[in-house]
Copies of this chain bind each other. A is one copy, B any other.
Amino acid sequence: MPERRRQARGERRMAQLLDAAADVFAENGYAKATTNAVAARAGVSPGTLYQFFANKEALAAGLAERYRSALAQAHEQAFDPGFATLPLPELVDRMVEPMIAVNLENPGFKALFTAADMPAHVAAPARELHAAVAGRIGSVIAARLPDRPPEDVHRTAVVATQIFGALLGTILSADGDRDRWVAELKQALIGYLAAFESGGA
């Protein structure tokens, strides 16, 4: 895999293709999306697409990388020092709001995050996304409850991530009452995490 030297035009094309992939994935899900459609959406021939991405999975991986970066940036803004001592409802707020915002701005990412259908070898980017989100949640929980076994913290973070993923679709497709569903998501997370904080010991 000898690293290929890219010109400025090539970098622009890659971003363009990822934009198009995000749109196409968002419309019908990853499985139903076609590489030819992505190329067409980007106003480019299939051959050009494959100049920059080895295959369909590479497109997914590129998008996932974008997501991780966007999420990290959003959370960096939302976490000031001392976040760990906030009351639970406010903490959940600080976690959830940026995640929803990022998903609203990047419709394609939900198709990767909610990856129930992907063939096994293609699911790698989705798994990494899940792991990234769970990692963030886990580190916040660990900061609040330093005495808990890491294994318990991890399991709780995974469950919280899955709850988030489960409601994401409903939230994104809701129009007028989106805030209502977001409130339900927060309530579910608060209820679950409160039990973890008070229990276990």
Contact = CB atoms under 8 A, between A and B. Distances in A.
Interface of A: 28-32, 114-120, 155-156, 158-159, 162-163, 165-167, 169-170, 180-181, 184-185, 187-188, 190-196, 199
Given A155-B180, A184-B155, A29 B191 contact: no
A162 B155 contact: no
A19 to B, nearest CB: 22
B180 A159 contact: no
Contact of A187 (B180, B184, B192): B192
Contact of A28 (B119, B170, B193): B119
A116 B119 contact: no
Given A32-B119, A187-B199, 19 more contacts: A28-B120, A29-B116, A29-B117, A114-B116, A115-B116, A116-B169, A117-B117, A155-B184, A156-B184, A162-B166, A163-B166, A163-B188, A166-B166, A187-B196, A188-B191, A190-B191, A190-B195, A191-B191, A191-B192
